[in-house]
Amino acid sequence: MFFFLVYITKHQVVITPDQEDIEHYFEVLERYNTGTASPEEVVFVERYMELLEHRAPVPQDFALRKDDIGKEIKNQLFNAINQETTRPVIHRVHFLRRYWLAAASVSLFIGLGGYIAYHNQQNTPQIVQQAPLDVLPGKTGAILTLSNGTQLLLDSLGNGVVATQAGANVSIQNGALAYDVNGKDAVSNTVTTPKGRLFEVVLSDGTRVWLNAASSLTYPVAFKGNERIVSITGEAYFEVAADVKRPFKVKVNEETEVLVLGTSFNINAYYDESQVSTTLVNGAVKVQNGANGKVLKAGQQANIVVGSRDVVVTAANIDEVVAWKNGSFAFNGADIQVVMRQLARWYNIDVTYDGIPEGTFSGEIDRSLTLDQVLKGLAKTRIHYKIEKGNKVVIQP
């Protein structure tokens, strides 16, 4: 018997399988997958799986192509996950829809027509372009540039010390970057958020700064002298620690700076927006633009049109201005470009226009939604769009 079996492993005669055996074989495989296989069947399937490793060699060009293959599978997965999260979280979308409705019933108008999204949603079929691609929302993360130029990626680091600068420990605490008071020199650090990232920094004086996407904050590790000076690009929300002896200054550009006494305020100074807006939540700030300066009261906004010497003060909608810090987008009579500039920063997308839809947008949108979910929401107000490969969005007439 032993000889016989050794022999058959080397024997070359072709034996035709019986149909009954083939059917039995597939039944065994299926039982294995459903967990109803007998112990002997499990042994058989697992032995077969092991032997199958010798079925075919790995394609020769695998080493060259593996990065592409890995990326492609990963992209497919994340696209699928997006669609997954859209469907099962019906209650959440529902809540949002109600939120949308509430917003819609108050303020979601299209231009002068007063076309309320609600009706569109209920009565007419969607004219939304099918969008097979989607883009995930942004999240917390930033790049920290140390005084010697070293850059650290702060995305999803756990709590703990990440660097030491001029004697100060730089650590992550509850997702924020924090400096202790032991810094000896005023060496400069910079936190930069790329598109699609949001980050919080706690400076050595206890001042808290939230950076919106595509923004940066430059500050000394320790504040020396009788002024606290930081500079920003993009958008940031400040909660400045009170210190009467050392006023706090935020430099926006050569001309514009904000002088602070302990207070909370928001500065929007994106290079692609037409103006620098400083909005005071509470306390007192003075917005200085060249020779012109205006002191703001809580609830007021100072706007400086790029290139202008004027400082125009208006009443502000605080909720709208600081919505980003609280996890949403808020619009009040914004045109499509204003809306898309905000989306572009958060979803890291490039937006092009085949045509510019008329009308303005008002309402609030959760920033944790995927791009497609947000655009679908906007589509209810008759925006047509297409998401293309490489994070591109085309707005259609």
CA distance 240 to 260: 8
How, if at all, do strands 392-396 and 350-353 pair?
A: parallel
Nearer to other proteins, 50 or 254 (CB): 50
Region 42-81 residues binding other proteins, contact defined as CB under 8 A:
43-59, 62, 66, 69-70, 72-74, 76-78, 80-81
Give whichever of 49 and 181 is closer to other proteins, judged by the CB atom: 49
Choose among 388, 342, 351: nearest CA to 138.
342
Q: Taking CB under 8 A as the criterion, which residues in 159-198 touch other proteins?
A: 162
For 87-190, where are the alpha helices, taking DSSP H only?
90-107, 117-123
Whole-number minimum distance, CB 92 to other proteins, in Å? 13
CA dihedral 264, 269, 274, 278 (to 10 degrees): 20
The CA distance from 122 to 291, in Å, is 55
Q: How many residues bind other proteins (CB under 8 A)?
A: 72
The stretch near other proteins (CB under 8 A) out of 38-46, 99-107, 227-235, 252-260 is: 38-46
Examine residue 22 and tell whether it contacts other proteins (CB under 8 A).
yes
Please list every residue from 206 through 265 that binds other proteins, using CB under 8 A. none
Considering the complex, what minimum distance in angstroms separates the CB of residue 241 from other proteins? 28
**268, 241 contact by CB (below 8 A):** no
Q: Whose Cβ is closer to other proteins: residue 65's or residue 184's?
A: 65
Query: Considering only residues 131, 133, 157, 259, which one is a binding residue for other proteins as defined by CB under 8 A?
Result: 157
Whole-angstrom distance, CA of residue 311 vs CA of residue 308: 8
Q: Per CB under 8 A, which of residues 91..150 are in contact with other proteins?
A: 136, 139
C-beta neighbour count of 54 within 10 angstroms = 7
Nearer to other proteins, 105 or 159 (CB): 159
Closest C-alpha to 199, from 156, 256, 255, 170: 156
Of 135 and 339, CB closest to other proteins: 135
Determine contact, residues 209/237, Cβ cutoff 8 Å. yes
Q: Which is nearer to other proteins, 70 or 355 (CB)?
A: 70
